[in-house]
Structures are given as structure tokens and as C-alpha cells.
Structure 1
Amino acid sequence: MASQSKKAFALRLDPALYAAIERLAAAELRSANAEIEMLLREALARRGVSVKRSGAPKRGRPPKEES
């Protein structure tokens, strides 16, 4: 299920481009959506634009607390 803090929008891509993104995502153990987000962040960083990560909660189990 998508996080409520993320902006959803339609993105039309060339099928060959999307297939390449899917292959790259699979190699990196990410979803295609996460791979597109990562590629966009890298491209922005190369242009000198820094984007802070949102305060969204991280996935997975929280660390065990010692008693």
C-alpha cells in the first residue's frame, strides 16, 4: 500500500525505458517505483539540487529493546 505522504501521479514512459528500469530495479532489489525515485534523486544531486528525505517511518521491524 502506498504511503499517504507520497505524491501519486501518472507517468508515461517508453516501454523499452520502463523495461530497463525494471531490470535495474531487480538487480538492486528495489521496486520499479523506488528505482525511479532513486534515479531522480541521483540526477538532481548531479545538478546540485539536494532533496531532503521525508520523515516517513522506515519499513521493517523496530530494533529490540533490552530489558
Structure 2
Amino acid sequence: MPASAKKAFALRLDPALYAAVERMAAADLRSANAEIEVLLREALARRGMTVKPPARARRGRPPKEEG
């Protein structure tokens, strides 16, 4: 998914809350932004609202064409 396909907005958090998110993110080898997305998806799922996960970016070289 291209970075431009994501909605950017300012989020003000208590510094202690952000520090806790950063610790969780580091434990899961994620960025703080990715950890916040995971936490939001989990909270929404608990309330019965599922959000389709984003399409993963294709990595690596394209397959060679036969011919």
C-alpha cells in the first residue's frame, strides 16, 4: 500500500501513554504508528466492527517472464 493511501492526522497523547505504546511496539518489532493501528483494530473488533486489513505491499523483484 503506498504511503499516500493512508490518512495522516495529528494525534495528541499523554506522554506516559505514548511511552507505553512505544514499549509495546518495540516488544513486537513494530513502529509506534503500526502499534496504534493494531490496538485500534483490536478495540474495534471487540466492539463488533471489523476493518479489512490493508493490502500488503509486494516486495522483491518481479518474476522473470518466460519466453
State the TM-score bracket (shorter-chain normalisation). 0.7 to 0.9
In the TM superposition, 1:27-46 aligns within 5 A as: 27-46=27-46
Q: Show the 5 A alignment for 1:21-60.
A: 21-55=21-55, 57-58=56-57, 60=59
Percent of paired sites with the same residue? 67
- Residue 58 (structure 1) shift: 1.9
Unaligned runs of 5+ in 2: none
RMSD over aligned Cα atoms = 2.2
Structure 1 unaligned regions, length at least 5: none
How does the TM-score come out when normalised to structure 1?
Answer: 0.81
Instruction: Find the aligned partners of 2:5 and 2:30 in 1 and give their Cα distance.
Output: 19
- Runs of 4+ in structure 1 off by over 2 angstroms are 59-65
Higher helix share: 2
User: Higher relative contact order at CA 8 Å, sep ≥6: structure 1 or structure 2?
Assistant: 2
Matched residues in 2 for 1:17 and 1:44: separation? 19
Q: How many residues align?
A: 64
Normalization by structure 2: what TM-score? 0.81
Q: Which amino acid aligns with 1:24?
A: M
